[in-house]
Amino acid sequence: MSSLRALWGTARRLGMNEETMRAIAGKVTKSETLKGHSSLTYNKILDQMNGIKASAVKLDGLHRNKILALWISAHNLGVIENSSDNALCAFVKRQTGIDQTNWLHNKDDADMVIGALKSWLAREGCVDWSESRDMHLFYRNPQYKIGIAIFVKIWMLSHSEKPELSDFLSRISEISGIEPFQFERDDWINVHKTLGNELRTLKRHGKVVCNA
């Protein structure tokens, strides 16, 4: 049965802010409150919400690429379903209170958003950001850290023991067709996308565990 919870869930999926959701609901209910409506009314509101494409946000600024890359990583890690720019802006605003006009252009605000996203990916996506001085550059690469986190999630759906490093290197070599130590940025993007698609498919049929 449709409910108030379904409205909030749909708004999050669409990257729709609260003001927009309430405006749509108000047109249907002729009321200022979201509570106490019938199932039929909630269904009408949901139909209206799904029929309206959230206003497109154009992200453009000095710090866009790194923040957007972390957001897309969250999608590939199975942490979020909606990887749109709208959803990113809504998430950042909700978690940090910082508007996109600030974090796109202000370094201090951007660093705060990046830190928040990385902490969130460590907690919810099981990404291990730790490194040491003697660690090879390949293993210090954030792309590696994200890639292996996705792979471990996939692996643990059908194995009781954690994978060996060689299992991961073999899999990403299979995906890319080249040796992992020769990877460039586009190779990692392809690996993340491939593994992310696989994880999202498998998640529907089993529990995803953390590699902690």
- Across the range 160-180, mean pLDDT stands at 96
| Percentage with pLDDT > 70 across the chain | 89
Domain boundaries, the chain: 4-51, 64-124, 137-203
pLDDT at 38: 86
* pLDDT band, very low/low/confident/very high, at 85 (cuts 50, 70, 90): confident
pLDDT at 2: 53
pLDDT at 129 over 70: yes
**pLDDT 10s digits, 13-41:** 776 777 778 888 888 888 888 888 888 88
pLDDT at 190 over 80: yes
Average pLDDT, the chain: 86
Phi, psi of 182 (to 5 degrees): -100, 5
Residue given tokens 């460590």 in the structure block: 122
Compute the distance between CA of residue 24 and CA of residue 31 in angstroms, rounded to an integer.
11
Tokens of 29: 């209910």
Q: By C-alpha distance, which of 169, 182, 200 is closest to 74? A: 200
DSSP-assigned states of every residue in 83-133: -SHHHHHHHHHHHH---HHHHTT-HHHHHHHHHHHHHHHHHHS-------T
Q: By C-alpha distance, which of 134, 164, 160 is closest to 148? A: 164
Q: What is the CA radius of gyration of the chain?
A: 20
Handedness of CA 17, 19, 25, 27 (dihedral sign): negative
Helix ranges, the chain (H) = 4-14, 18-29, 39-51, 64-76, 85-96, 100-103, 107-124, 137-140, 142-155, 165-176, 185-203
